[in-house]
Structure formats: C-alpha cells, structure tokens
Amino acid sequence: MNDPKFNRLPHAGDFEVESGTEAFYLSPKPLPTGSAAFTGQRMHRAVNDVFLDFAHSVSGLEFAVRVSVGSVIFMMIFFFLVNVLLAGSSFYHGWPFWSNLIENVENPFLWGFTAMHILIAGVPLYKSVHEITSVPPVRFNRQRREVAYVRQKGEPPLIVPWEEVIACVTAGTTVNQYAVMHSYSLMIGLRDSSSGEVVWLTLNVGHLSLAVSEWEALRVYMEEGPLALPEPLLVDEEFQEGTVAYFHMCRGVYREMHSWPVYASSTATSKNRSLRQLLRGIFVCHHTLCG
C-alpha cells in the first residue's frame, strides 16, 4: 500500500487516517516499541532457533474437543444406565434380564440419536480444525532474516527480507443503531518485489496494546532469538486448560480472592460508601434550601 502523503511505501513511525481508521506503522526497518512481547492468541505455532511459524494453532480447540467428546461419552453412559434400570425393572416383573438389556441397547432410535449428537458436535470442530490447518503459516526465518508466506498449498512462496516487512497497528470505530464498536488489528504487509503487490495479513485483537505486543514478540524473536520470548504462564501439562488440576487451581484462586468474608466486607464497604454519599447529598440539599 503506497502512502499518498509521501508517494512511497510507509516507514516505521508513519501515521495515516483512511476512512475513519487510524494506522500507525511499526515497520519497515522495525524499531523497538517498548511494549511487552507476548502473544495473546497463541499465534506461535512452532518456535526454534531457526524459524517461527506465525499462525493460529489447534491448541485453542483442545478444550472444545474435550467438551464434545465428554458430552458424547456422558450421553452413552447415561443411556446405558437407563437401559440397565429398565431391564432390572423387567426382571423384577418376571421378564428375562439379559434379553431385555440387549434389546434396549440395540434400539436403532438410540443409536440414531447418538449419531446425530456426534455429528452436531463433530462437524463444527472439523470445520474449525480444517480452516486452521489449511492456511499455511507465515514463517519468520531468523537464520536467513527472511519472511516466507504461501497463499495456498502448492504455490511458490513469497519471500520478503525482514527489514522490508510492512507492519502497522490500526484502530477504528464503527457506529450502528445498537452501540459504538471499536476495532483493533495488527496488519503485516509482504511486498512482492517483482510485481509491487502487497499481500496483507490481518490479526484482529481486543485492544491496541495487544496488537503492538504481538508485533513486538515477532521483532524480539528476529533480533534476539527465541530466548527473548516470554515463557507461557502454564508450562506444566497438568495445569493446562481443561484438566482437573486446572479446575481446582482456578477454584482455589477464586476462593482466595472472592471468599465470603471478603465479599461480605466489600459489600458492606460499598453500602457504607453509598450511604455516606446519600447523606452528603441530603445535607447539601438541606443546606441549599435553608440558606
């Protein structure tokens, strides 16, 4: 994207406004931003001393997979226990137990309902995994100081020197009949030197500082190496999201931070503060009327 103000490609430090969206450029010739370097969306699919693959990973879907598989297994166990109770009731009234149990388990409506539940839970997960894995990652090669991107599998890669990568953070506002919505994103531009075309990759984030931190993580990796990247908060696999240990850890933190005495004291404090404000308002009104 050529900058119309300078009739050239943007440089680090340039600022422009287009269609209500403000853009601040952090590269080419990337400079330190002063922000903390971390990825809030788990964008580092693979990291080593040679390259970093920047793309969404399937690790964020781990909890969804566990919930889907757990719900299917729970439903099958529930139906099996119900069939056992029905067979036991039939046996109590003089009917054979095992034949009734096998007949209930082989009910085609039961297996049809189970298959429908598996499809409802599995199709969205399959589509999400396919969308993530079908898009090739952007490879930041620290050894060659190059950035490679493949638009589609089977096509030749677009290779751009690290110092020529365009990066900017954008902030925009959308006003509709319901609310005012703010949008922030990190945009990475890779310019094809042969045709002059710039391929833009956009990462939407929840805040402007998160966009800067995502870029800062890429910059410190290319300049300082993988040791400059922050360690993940939960390194131990036992405490990964979705595990029982993670649940008990969150519950312990919640009890420590939001226990009943703390909640009661904070509630009483807020009530006293509101009461003082109310009394102060009454006193001011009374003083004004009497004066």
Could you report the per-residue pLDDT of 46-105, keeping only the tens digit for each? Answer: 788 888 888 876 666 777 777 788 888 888 888 888 888 887 887 777 778 787 778 777
Looking at residue 157, what DSSP letter applies?
Answer: P
Shared domain check, 101 and 217: no
- The pLDDT value recorded for residue 204 is 86
Shared domain check, 272 and 142: no
Domain count along the chain = 3
The H-or-E segment that residue 173 falls in is strand 166-175
Over residues 120-145, mean pLDDT = 82
In a domain, residue 10? The reply is: no
Distance CA 61, CA 66 (A): 9
- The pLDDT value recorded for residue 140 is 92
Could you report the per-residue pLDDT of 206-242, keeping only the tens digit for each? Answer: 888 888 888 898 999 998 888 888 766 544 555 555 5
Shared domain check, 165 and 49: yes
In a domain, residue 231? The reply is: no
Shared domain check, 163 and 209: yes
Structure-token match 């595990």, residue found: 243
- The pLDDT value recorded for residue 3 is 46
Does residue 143 register a pLDDT over 50? yes
* Burial of 159 (C-beta count, 10 Å sphere; 0-12/13-18/19+): middle
Average pLDDT, the chain: 75
In a domain, residue 1? The reply is: no
- Contact of 79 with 167, CB cutoff 8 Å: no
Does residue 19 register a pLDDT over 80? no
Give this prediction's pTM.
0.61
Structure-token match 């993988």, residue found: 226
In a domain, residue 238? The reply is: no
In a domain, residue 236? The reply is: no
- How far is CA 238 from its chain centroid? 21
Shared domain check, 155 and 176: yes
Which of 173, 191, 224 is the last residue in one of the domains? 224
* Range of the structural domain that residue 112 is part of: 62-133
Helices vs. strands in the chain: H and E counts, helices first: 6, 10
Which of 173, 190, 224 is the last residue in one of the domains? 224
Could you report the per-residue pLDDT of 57-67, keeping only the tens digit for each? Answer: 666 677 777 77
Shared domain check, 220 and 263: no
Shared domain check, 66 and 52: no
Shared domain check, 38 and 84: no
Looking at residue 231, what DSSP letter applies?
Answer: P
Which of 133, 164, 187 is the last residue in one of the domains? 133
Distance CA 160, CA 144 (A): 11
Shared domain check, 78 and 156: no
